[in-house]
Amino acid sequence: MQRREFLTLLSGAAAWPLTARAQRPKLPTIGFLGTTSAAAWSPWTAALIQRLRELGWIEGRTMVIEYRWAEGHNERYTEIADEFVRLKVDLIFTSGGAVRAVKQVTGAIPIVFALGADPVGSGLVASLARPGGNATSVGSW
């Protein structure tokens, strides 16, 4: 093999990882808006990740979770929801008071929320059988 042919082959091979990376499809992404801190949410995030794994969804391999923490600052809910819209997440998971803020920011991205109160009574969904809109609850009311 001539030196020139070898260098041509080598330079082409060096571009293969870049080409493969550029053609990789975007993984489904969950935007996780925690109302407090990562430490406070750790039991629930661990349970969510475990259940997703049982269903075949592996974080970093078959889906991505973008975590954001409001650290108890309610005014951050809208800011974080706006960021998720810009990131084009496929689903937003949140809880409590953040649900209203997220619903105001997006009517297109599905919202799954944990809520201890009645989601129908609080006006977050139309009914349990047919929540309507883009929000649904996994709460215990």
pLDDT for the residue 9: 47
Let me know if residue 56 belongs to a domain.
yes
Q: Is the pTM of this model over 0.85?
A: no
Let me know if residue 5 belongs to a domain.
no
pLDDT for the residue 100: 86
Judged by average pLDDT, the poorest of 5-9, 49-53, 114-118 is 5-9
At residue 7, does pLDDT exceed 60?
no
Instruction: Give me the number of domains the chain comprises.
Output: 1
pLDDT for the residue 136: 59
pLDDT for the residue 107: 87
Let me know if residue 12 belongs to a domain.
no
Let me know if residue 64 belongs to a domain.
yes
The string of DSSP letters for the chain reads --HHHHHHHHHHHHHHHHHHHHHPPPPPEEEEEESS-HHHHHHHHHHHHHHHHHTT--BTTTBEEEEEE-TT-TTHHHHHHHHHHHHT-SEEEEETTHHHHHHHH-SSS-EEEE-SS-TTTTTSSS-SS---TTEEE----
Q: For the domain that residue 52 is a member of, what is the CATH number?
A: 3.40.50.2300
Range of the domain at 90: 26-137
Let me know if residue 16 belongs to a domain.
no
If you average pLDDT over residues 5-11, what whole number do you get?
47
